[in-house]
Structure 1
Amino acid sequence: MKKPTLQSSLATALCFELGTDVPEWVEVLPPGPNVTGRDGRKWTYDANQVIAETVAHTQGADLPFDYEHATELKAPKGEKAEASGWAREYRINERGALEARVEWTKEARNAIEARQYRYISPVFAYDDRTGHIYRFSSFGLVNKPNLVTKALNSEQAPSLSQQPEESDMALAAILAALGLPETATEEEAVAAINKLLEDKKVALQTAANSETRVPSLDLYVPRQDYNNLEKRALNAEQKLDQQAKTQLATAINAEIEDALKAGKITPATKDYHLAACQEAGGLERFRQFVAAAPSVTDPVAPDGERRTEKTALNSEEQAAARQFGWTDEQYLEKTKGIK
């Protein structure tokens, strides 16, 4: 199956209960090919394919087990996301369920034995049009189960999985307003809007040239019908514009956060880059800048801590310090601890 690109999401919706012992092998997907969460969401998967895709994607690295999905929710914000264990390998058990062998941390073992955490919740990437799961992203120890099975999960997915659904809902509303089928593309929606606007222009020109004649229904439409068509076209155009703005804002925030983590920009210049990306062509110029720019700070480590202590400012930090009227020492002090 070809991997989805634009229409893929991450989800956490399946949970598996742990016993009082600390198991080495834990169930991370119930027997397939169809699975349903308590919140009503449904997926399909092929166990062998999920294992192969996960191993290929990680390139031999172990996926993390964490606490309350911190890897997906906190780490992208630069916050601390401690591991509770590591997935070392995968297998299909006698029930047809997919299991992972976990190397637990000492703290996680103690928490499980103390019943501080009772469930395991997988985060997986899937095609949000077909619901087909194709690989794991991480796993979390949680306490709010969603799936009736032997293992763990939480009912709410990360916000990442909601953005494509909202986008699809907006497009569906636009297509309905234009009288187009659900299978129509954005390009077809834009073409329909342009045709409505062109029809409006022709109708106005014809009306101006034929004010004294009785209009023919072959060439004209009643004013009320025309007003309704115009309103639909404008509503559809506004929805497309809002959808484009939302997608741009999401893309800008993601690029800024990645640049911060890579040490290509500093927290002190974040607002400046956010504003610059809002300008026409700004996002693409920022991407080119990040691709060519050297690191101006130490990259952020997986635990959110910087790898070395800064003792001097680079040119960009000096410019930011002067902008705020700070000395080098004031800049280092005020930005100390920012992640």
Structure 2
Amino acid sequence: MKTKLLVAACASALSQSSNRLVLIPEGQFSGLDGRPHDAPYWNLTAERGRQIALALNNRAIDLVIDYEHGTLKSQTDGKPAPASGWIKSFEYVEGVGLCSSDFNWTAQAQGFIDAEEYKYLSPVFSYTPQGDITGLLCVALTNTPNLDELPALLAAAAQDLFIQNSNNEDDLMPEFLKLMLKKLGLAENATEQEVLTAANSFFAKVDAAGFGTELAKEQTLNAAVDAVIVSKTAANHQQQPDPSKFVPIAVVSGLQAQIATLTANSNKTEVDTLYTAACSNGQLLGDDMQAWGRKLADEQPEEFKKFVASAPKIAALNGKQTDGANVAANNQQQQENKHTPEALHVANLMGVELGATA
């Protein structure tokens, strides 16, 4: 996973009126002299291009454009390395590559460019043994786009200038990478693309698990793990409720069934009582009407209650009309009622009981 530093021979021609610098082109490319010799080609993907632009834009200082890579050479020869311009911000343009539209030239450099005394822009970038470009180190005005590889001393100077903690990289990074490769289920000789694919697959699984993580939205892995722990803890608490606060569903269902049965029995008793009363007080006359009332009471008890509440009662039918004693008493009363009041008064004065009239 280490990178090698070379001076790219893919320098782009400068236009006198150009308002965009193309620093590294998109896709696979090689130098005019056939380089790279230690990789099949150089390759800048859109994903890596955006990452490089973001990293450069996070720098606190502008990136210098020098003459003929003077900044690197000055690390060994001590000579001044004047700037020809400065790049203030970077962008990745789809279909084009790593670019900048926010830059300025010094007055002297602008004069050189206008006079075509300098015609090419040459970037120094790092790349893997597979040819994948990993970073932009510096940029220079040059007239020799087919530059050779940096001599060993200049490569070392580039390391000192642009790669932080280089003294610890050989000791720490291999062990860290071995651990990450192992956790991702990859071999130690896995390519960078294989590592990126495995990592993105892992992140996608975590995002899709529904734990409230958002790795796809730049959430850190540590924050995502914390979200998973919180979600898992909450789920465990839900699975093991406090028995002092919750009643088992089976108990609740049993009580509901008992209540329903008692309610139904109570309603049936009430309706039966109303039906018997309705038959006795003349609200349900005859067999047909009583059969109808029984069916309504059984099937629609609430409607039967409404009927009983509104149906008139027949007072003359409140008692049993087949009772013999009542019939005789009624007949006697009717017979007595046939005497005139005057006759009854005279008989009473004389102490005589009048009999029934024929």
Alignment TM-score, normalising by the size of structure 1: 0.40
Higher relative contact order (CA 8 A, sep 6+): 1
The structure whose Rg is larger is 2
